[in-house]
Structure 1
Amino acid sequence: MTRFDDLAAFAAVVRAGSFTRAAAQMGLSPSALSQTVKALESRLDMKLLNRTTRSVSTTEAGERLYQAVGPRFADIEGELQILSELRGKPAGQVRITGTENAISTVVWPKLEPWLPRYPEIQLELSSDNRFVDIVAERFDIGVRLGNDVDKDMIAVRIAPDMRMVVVGAPAYFANRLPPAKPQDLQAHDCIGRRLPTHSGLLSWEFHEGDRSFNVSVSGRLAFNANPLIVAAALGGHGLAWVRHDQVEQHLADGTLVSVLDDWSSTYSGYHLYYATRRSSPALALVVDALRYDTSDTGSG
């Protein structure tokens, strides 16, 4: 079995820049630490450190090894520190930003019953439909659809995949034929959606087999809030392109009817994301509380 104690010792020396300082941090004697690193060099059959009486520096091989293992040991140490701190009472502020829908339908419903267990944790929930730079604006957690999370962030799923549907009220279809294919929407009164990150109205996306395509729609009404779009559709003012979970009850009771179901598009559901693995105990607890349980009931 591969030994890791000598790798940890090597990383500690490089990080401290000194055998003496690293030995003090690890509770070892400098000579014992030196022997451990020498044993690693012997096991790998290569020199990893250049030693002088005044300094320690990595060789080319040593630098490559440190870049590979150093961050991993730092992550492990950080997680162990979090576990140690969890023995006490977790405290502190956790700031979360996400779209209005994500905050109101996923984040808050999960955290509200959780709050009494951790009275020393303070939450700030900010609803914002634009893409927020959580590092620049000092948020601990952001919430977006999985496809929109930057690759350099740590992402955790908090909701099932999201299916989009086109819906209209029976009154809207009283004197109109339902669209038979997405392109037919151009002859219909469609309720537009405007996002702060788009200069124009959002196109509606559809799928046919493995191919996805967008359809530009138009109509008398446009909103930037989902509840208003659903309300306008319920009033018979046009067709709306919305998430299935938003209108599931209306579809069940017949106040809305879905069309073009064979072309429905599905997106990766909401994910929370954060910028560093060395999180606080409070943040770690919030992440665990929001984490999606596959036994949860999805909206389809």
Structure 2
Amino acid sequence: MTFDGRLFSGITVLAAVAESGSFVRAADALGLSPSGVSRAVSRLEKRVGVRLLDRTTRSQTLLETRIITVASPRYVAEHGQPGKPEEVSKHQRIMFYNPVTAKPFEWEFHRGKKVTEIPAEGRLLVSDVETMLGACIAGAGIAQVMEIGVEQVMRDGLLVDLFPDWSDERFPLYALFPSRRHRAAKVEAFINFCIESLSAAAPVRHAQIRPRGASAAKKLRRTPHGDRDD
């Protein structure tokens, strides 16, 4: 078998990228420029006819939902309703655990460009949304939740929005997938299913993203700030 030096060189570069986890770090280790490493891997992929690395992932915004501050009527009857965001620090709060920081998520209140931050303090810390909602409905304290998913309990009067004028914070829900070159039909179908399901559950005023395809485009509208899969 004839020894192919170029193929072997490409494999060496590929191994360096895989080991270091970065084109930049591989370039430093090999004494090459990042663009040189990228070209070497591209040549190898072309030679073997297979894409060997997913250089990036694509993200598509499925929905943007409001963050609202809620409590049960029972809690409000027993403890009173805070008149402004700063007053929640004097109330019992149900905090949600942030696995990235190992601390509770910070509380913020948004009204237009104004943002009020409240220190994350509370006696009850949970890591499950259903547990948080159950505790809040039972009157254990005030919670900040995504509006999507709590519409029914709000309509039933089990929870009330304490600060409807301070709920301009938006939380985007994304779909992450490998880059467009290998976008499988089943991935496309699943993303469109998610968009349709979430949009059907979300209030009309929420920013929504349309699925791909002409027929689906007639049903939904794209959010003004949605990411495009270019």
Q: Distance in 2 between matches of 1:183 and 1:295?
A: 32
Q: Distance in 2 between matches of 1:228 and 1:165?
A: 17
Deviation by residue 1:68-106 (Cα, 9 ceiling, x = unmatched): xx9xxx9xxx9xxxxxxxxxxxxxxxxxxxxxxxxxxxx
Please say if 1:262 is aligned against 2:165.
Answer: yes
Question: Identity rate of aligned residues, in percent?
Answer: 25
Q: Distance in 2 between matches of 1:296 and 1:280?
A: 23
Please say if 1:195 is aligned against 2:94.
Answer: no
Q: Distance in 1 between matches of 2:101 and 2:198?
A: 36
Q: Report the counterpart of residue 285 of structure 1 in structure 2.
A: 186
CA gap 1:241/1:296 in 2 versus in 1, 3 angstroms: closer
Q: Distance in 2 between matches of 1:290 and 1:206?
A: 31
Q: Report the counterpart of residue 58 of structure 1 in structure 2.
A: none
Q: CA deviation at 1:295?
A: 10
Please say if 1:233 is aligned against 2:136.
Answer: yes
TM alignment of 1:151-170, pairs within 5 A: 152-157=56-61, 159-170=62-73
Counterpart contact for 2:112–2:168, Cα < 8 Å: no
Q: Distance in 1 between matches of 2:105 and 2:138?
A: 21
Counterpart contact for 2:75–2:139, Cα < 8 Å: yes
Secondary structure of residue in 2 paired with 1:278: helix
Deviation by residue 1:109-165 (Cα, 9 ceiling, x = unmatched): xxxxxxxxxxxxxxxxxxxxxxxxxx9xxxx9xxxxxxxxxxx431123x3211111
Q: Distance in 1 between matches of 2:58 and 2:129?
A: 28
Counterpart contact for 1:194–1:200, Cα < 8 Å: yes
CA gap 1:258/1:286 in 2 versus in 1, 3 angstroms: same
Secondary structure of residue in 2 paired with 1:269: strand
Q: TM-score, normalised by structure 1?
A: 0.46
Q: TM-score, normalised by structure 2?
A: 0.58
Q: Distance in 2 between matches of 1:294 and 1:257?
A: 25
Counterpart contact for 1:205–1:265, Cα < 8 Å: no
Q: Distance in 1 between matches of 2:135 and 2:169?
A: 23
Secondary structure of residue in 2 paired with 1:246: coil
Q: Quick one: which amino acid aligns to residue 261 of structure 1?
A: P
Q: Distance in 1 between matches of 2:141 and 2:115?
A: 24
CA gap 1:231/1:275 in 2 versus in 1, 3 angstroms: same
CA gap 1:280/1:265 in 2 versus in 1, 3 angstroms: closer
TM alignment of 1:120-269, pairs within 5 A: 152-157=56-61, 159-269=62-172
Q: Distance in 2 between matches of 1:214 and 1:240?
A: 15
Q: CA deviation at 1:178?
A: 0.9
Q: Quick one: which amino acid aligns to residue 214 of structure 1?
A: E
The structure showing larger relative contact order (alpha-carbon pairs under 8 Å, at least 6 residues apart) is: 2
Q: Distance in 1 between matches of 2:153 and 2:198?
A: 25
Deviation by residue 1:140-198 (Cα, 9 ceiling, x = unmatched): 9xxxxxxxxxxx431123x3211111111111111322111111110000001112112
CA gap 1:257/1:295 in 2 versus in 1, 3 angstroms: closer
Counterpart contact for 1:161–1:266, Cα < 8 Å: no
Q: CA deviation at 1:278?
A: 2.3
Unaligned runs of 5+ in 2: 1-5, 7-34, 207-230
Q: Quick one: which amino acid aligns to residue 230 of structure 1?
A: L
Counterpart contact for 2:69–2:144, Cα < 8 Å: yes
Q: CA deviation at 1:286?
A: 1.9
Secondary structure of residue in 1 paired with 2:144: strand
Secondary structure of residue in 1 paired with 2:66: strand
Secondary structure of residue in 2 paired with 1:245: coil
Q: Quick one: which amino acid aligns to residue 204 of structure 1?
A: W
Q: Distance in 1 between matches of 2:151 and 2:198?
A: 19
CA gap 1:166/1:268 in 2 versus in 1, 3 angstroms: closer
RMSD between aligned alpha carbons? Answer: 3.4
The count of residues paired between Structure 1 and Structure 2 equals 159
